[in-house]
Each structure stands twice: as C-alpha cells, then as structure tokens.
Amino acid sequence: MDAGASKQRVDAALAKASDELGLASYYRDCVRPLLGQPREQWPTCCGGSCEPCSQLLVTVADRVLTLLGDD
C-alpha cells in the first residue's frame, strides 16, 4: 500500500474511532503521535480534568489500531 493510501486509511479509522468515542475532530491530531509509539509510552490519566483527557486519547488510539487490524 502506498503512503497516500495508508494515510487515507489511518485518517478514516481515526475519524471513525473519534466519532464512536466522542472525541472532537479538532483533537484528532493529538492521537496521531500515539499511533507511532509503543503502548508502554502512551500517557495515563493524571486526574487533573484535562481537555481532552489522556485516557480518551489512548482509547481512541487503541480503537484506531483495532480498526486497522494492527493490534
């Protein structure tokens, strides 16, 4: 698969996961870096009422990987 098709596939999975889990579209770019990191490096919730919460970003990233079949 070429890079353009791969990016489109990731974009589609990210949009679907974000919509399913209630992550606003303007926060999608916060998820992208997680997709290239090992899960052990993903952030955890700090309990500080951040917007968006790190846990939501992680949940969306995990769903993206599931949609892409990379889990």
- What is the residue extent of each domain of the chain? 3-68
Q: What does the pLDDT look like over 5-61, one tens digit per residue?
A: 699 999 999 999 999 999 999 999 999 999 999 999 999 999 999 999 999 999 999
Cβ neighbours around 61 below 10 Å, total: 22
d(CA 14, CA 22): 12
Q: Does pTM surpass 0.85?
A: yes
